[in-house]
Amino acid sequence: MADFRQLVGKRVIMTGGAGNIGRASAILMAQHGATVAIGDLDIDGANETVEMIKADGGSALAVRTDVSNEDDIAAFVAAAVDFMGGIDVGFFNAGIQMSGAVEGFDADRWDRMFAVNPRHSFLMAKHTVPHLRNAGGGALVLTSSIAGVKGGPGMTAYSASKGAIVGFGRALSAELAPDNIRVNVLCPGWVDTPFNQPAIDFMGGSEAQAEVVKSIVPLGRQAAPEEMAEVVVFLASGMSSYMTNQIIIADGGIF
């Protein structure tokens, strides 16, 4: 019988695996045969994801990690390598969102968003790339957002932080291609998770958001986290072996 699993024997390190897109992706990658190491500030949530993977017959590890702290990242990468014996895939997905009009936006909140969103992508790459090189190559998937390529009111800081991930990922892909390491950037559109509450509040509540989704998303609905997980497996696996330096927009047709 043919085996259609795409990540058999692959060792995945990822951030944000306690959250919605992260958990769905961790579970699907494990179902495709990967071992998964999850770094998240929410260690209870990350442990829950690990238990779900184990209940499914998979193998996973959770490490409490504040991704804005380089020491935490170094310790997480070391623990992941200890657990898995190396790294083939990185999925840098942790993120935070804050909304607000530019004239009232506090500079500390801007700095915090940058410390988590793009700076963590950089730090995770810095600490994992040597292991991908040791493995003879691999794949990195960076979670940006449609907000990183298309702006919206109240989203200046979040959009800037996610746009920085696009720029970082594209330069990184050029730097790592000679080492057979592919780098692609995933830009989800509206995904139905509590993550968007700041944007929803800025828009005037969930009814206003539902109207916007209906009017601007050609598919007429938000995505489920599991629909992003499918794209993550594609980008992490050999199914996308000739793709690097790409911005993959999964937004129901907005862009």
Ligand X SMILES: NC(=O)c1ccc[n+]([C@@H]2O[C@H](COP(=O)([O-])OP(=O)(O)OC[C@H]3O[C@@H](n4cnc5c(N)ncnc54)[C@H](O)[C@@H]3O)[C@@H](O)[C@H]2O)c1
Q: Is 161 in the site for ligand X (CB under 6 A)?
A: no
Residue with smaller CB distance to ligand X, 22 or 154: 22
Q: Is 184 in the site for ligand X (CB under 6 A)?
A: no
Catalytic site includes residue 242: no
Interface with ligand X (CB under 6 A), residue from 67, 125, 139, 231: 67
Annotated catalytic residue within 91, 110, 158, 202: 158
Residue with smaller CB distance to ligand X, 35 or 196: 196
Q: Is 190 in the site for ligand X (CB under 6 A)?
A: yes
CA angle 114, 248, 215 (to 5 degrees): 90
Residue with smaller CB distance to ligand X, 6 or 65: 65
Residue with smaller CB distance to ligand X, 168 or 190: 190
Interface with ligand X (CB under 6 A), residue from 29, 188, 247, 252: 188
Active site amino acids: 158
Binding residues for ligand X (CB under 6 A): 15-16, 18-22, 40-42, 45, 65-68, 93-97, 116, 143, 145, 188, 190-191, 193, 195-196
